[in-house]
A and B are shown apart, each in its own frame.
Chain A
Amino acid sequence: MKVLAPISAYDELEMLAASGAEEFYCGIVPREWLDRYTGAVWLNRRSPKGGSLETLSELKQLVDGAHCLGIPVFLTLNAPYYTAEQMSWVMELARRLDGEAGVDALIVTDINLLMQLSQAKLNAALHVSSVAATLNTEAIRFLLQFGPSRIILPRSLTIPEIERIVNATRDEVEIEVFMLNDGCAFEEGFCSTTHHHTVGAFCTNLSEMDTDFERSGGRELTRRQNSRLRRNLTDYREWIWYVNGNGCGSTPNGLPYGPCGLCAIHDFKRIGVESLKIVGREASPFKKLASVRMVRAIVDQVRAGSEKLVTIERAKSLRGDRQHCDSGYMCYYKVEA
């Protein structure tokens, strides 16, 4: 079970590796893409200005540096789709990422790109992005025809569902799960909205809009029914606040908040999950550093054979604010103690 960290610059390499990162992933958006498509069309799942490298030489320096430390680097080409014109360009980019930069794997969503990459016989392995919404074992069986070495499961699967999938596909493909930081209110692979800075994420945007409930069947809502729906909407908006990294806040010690799966690491080790993903290519170096340290601390404890309850207590103490953990809204996974 590896700790997978986001990285967006060579300068971050040494500190993240020293803090416990065992795999890296990053993105690249060459200037040429931006000039042609503007910020309206994204090459990967982060805004062009959101933590992506710009040049192949920067990427090569990063990959070479990571390889010197024995750490693999994966690169995101995980837009939900590419048009025909884009596909030719992306395939050419992929060949250069593989041949010139030497990335260890490409993270892909678009099944058409996955298919073409599998036929291209690159050295880089293929990882299926969480954006591909691989929610069941049958879907993994379907995707295996393209030879991926890893499937990244969406955040929205429960621990029992993940366990069932891992048990059914063990020895055929690695499974990666989300561990820390950004949440998503929706099924990411089926959310057709943009996070463009002019409007922001749809889920958080909705929390600021005027709302009106309508009862089905043509009757008016009673005051009691309306009040109950309103209370539930208020709770939902609070949950969205947690999904959005507690309003992008931090603990009194300056540690980042945000959705978290630390308490589930014990279960993931038992189940046989291969990799724990920390989200946030666009985050500050400090947030990346703090995130890697938190995850690695729990992973080390689990590797050392710590009891599950002890691990959970340690995880909650690391988050630094018991109230938020106890809310239940900051957790990716519901963990049975």
Chain B
Amino acid sequence: MDWSIHVTNANEVRGDMSAPGAAGFDSGSKLAPIVEVTWKLIGEYFGAVSFTRCAYGNEFCEHLIPSPQQLERVLSAADEREMGLTLLTPYVSDAGIESLKPLFEMLSENGASEVVFNDWGVLNLLRREFPRLKPVQGRLMNKSLRDPRVTGVYAASDAPAPALVSLRRSNLDCTSYTGFLSGLGVDSVELDNLPQGVDQSFAEGGMKASAYVPFGFISTSRICMAAGIHYDKRDKFQPGAPCHHECQTHLLEYTYTNTPFGNRDQKFYLKGNSYFYVHTEAMLRGLFEQSRSGLIDRMVFQPRLPMMWERA
């Protein structure tokens, strides 16, 4: 199994990756405990892992697409370290497509790189204009119910087996779909570990899977709460509105105090335009146990929520 780490800038690629704990990556006090637990469990299950690849970019917001100069620096640092690079891309408007083109041109000139797509339009662009780049289906395209308010309850309850089986699967369950992806040159997909568990049997057909730890996405929007700060009240919360990357200044933690179930301590995190859940230790252990079956090709370690962006 390969190991990848999600980085924000070239300095992180050049930094010490022997123990990329929360302190070195500024995870913040709310998220540092789960990042530390994750790193500890990685050591427990896999020993001293070596990152052979870095994930760079953003899956959730086209305002967080890096500039060509930023990508060039990260690419150069990854080359120096002989690490592979995976460029993460978000869902995009037509303007976002235009922002991605120079990045793809640079990667294409540099040789074979991976590009994670979370938008059919991005895949279409890659296939038509950048055939040297290797497309990877992102986790937003991996359709499954990821509602941590209830999915853990479903898993623990006496729900009928067909319902739970269905909830642990995704669109990847259909060989017609994975065959379709293969026909498009997509032989790798990215996953979140779900509170209800993930059925990875789709990977038995040859599709490679990457799993992200310890954060999973819940929901995302073109309407960003954080971006609203600098607008007059009437003009706030417009889709795709220009911003000053206000999301980089803070994190908002929600506590599920109004649950009808027993999970009153459950937390959700909003960073910019996207909500995330954190893995519990039990979820991490479950995933790491599963990975021993050989069905996970790569683990992607996120030392903080995947919304960080380097100010130019």
Contacts and interface: CB of A to CB of B under 8 A. Distances in A.
B256 A209 contact: yes
A38 B236 CA distance: 39
Nearest to A164: B94
Contacts of A186: 219-221
A116 interface: yes
A215 interface: yes
B260 A209 contact: no
Nearest to B233: A235
Contact of A190 (B91, B120, B160, B177): B91
A228 interface: yes
Interface residues of A, number: 76
Interface in B259-282: 259-260, 268, 275
A80 B166 CA distance: 13
Interface stretch (A4-12, A200-208, A265-273): A200-208
B92 A135 contact: yes
A86 B236 CA distance: 41
Given A83-B169, A112-B177, A37 B254 contact: no
B154 interface: yes
A300 B56 CA distance: 51
A203 B145 CA distance: 15
Interface string B121-153: 111110000000000000010011111011000
Interface stretch (A52-60, A191-199, A280-288): A191-199
Contacts of B149: 193, 199, 202, 205
A174 B222 CA distance: 23
B146 A193 contact: yes
B162 interface: yes
B102 interface: no
A216 B28 contact: yes
A214 B140 contact: no
B28 A192 contact: no
A206 B256 CA distance: 8
Given A138-B121, A218-B28, A192 B176 contact: no
Contacts of B248: 216
B251 A209 contact: no
A212 B253 contact: yes
Interface stretch (B68-76, B106-114, B223-231): B223-231
A170 to B, nearest CB: 15
B312 to A, nearest CB: 17
B173 interface: yes
Interface string A43-79: 0000000000000000000000000000000000000
A142 B120 contact: yes
Contacts of B275: 202, 206
Interface stretch (B9-17, B42-50, B237-245, B286-294): B237-245
A101 interface: no
A38 B175 CA distance: 25
A67 to B, nearest CB: 32
B174 interface: yes
Given A156-B239, A187-B91, A209-B255, A232 B123 contact: no
B29 A218 contact: yes
Contacts of A80: 143, 171
A142 B120 CA distance: 7
B224 to A, nearest CB: 10
A194 B163 contact: no
Nearest to A242: B237
A290 B30 CA distance: 48
A203 B270 CA distance: 12
Contacts of A198: 150, 260
A112 B252 contact: no
Given A83-B169, A156-B240, A192 B147 contact: yes
Q: Which interface residue of A133, A139, A205 has the most chain B CB atoms within 10 A? A: A139
Contacts of B39: none
B150 A41 contact: no
A133 B150 contact: no
B226 to A, nearest CB: 8
B258 A205 contact: yes
B163 A37 contact: yes
B238 A213 contact: no
Interface stretch (A14-22, A245-253, A312-320, A327-335): A327-335
B128 to A, nearest CB: 8
A128 to B, nearest CB: 10
B174 A84 contact: yes
A194 B92 CA distance: 24
Contacts of A139: 119-121, 124
Contacts of B147: 192-194, 199, 202
A153 to B, nearest CB: 11
A157 B146 contact: no
A115 B258 contact: no
Contacts of B223: 156, 185
Interface string B73-84: 000000000000
Given A138-B125, A190-B140, A199-B149, A115 B176 contact: yes
B252 A187 contact: no
10 contacts: A40-B163, A41-B167, A84-B173, A85-B162, A85-B166, A135-B93, A136-B93, A190-B140, A192-B217, A209-B268
Given A136-B121, A161-B95, A203-B219, 8 more contacts: A38-B163, A40-B167, A112-B171, A135-B92, A138-B94, A164-B94, A235-B236, A328-B235
Among all A-B residue pairs, the 4 with the closest Cβ atoms: A138-B121, A139-B121, A81-B143, A192-B146
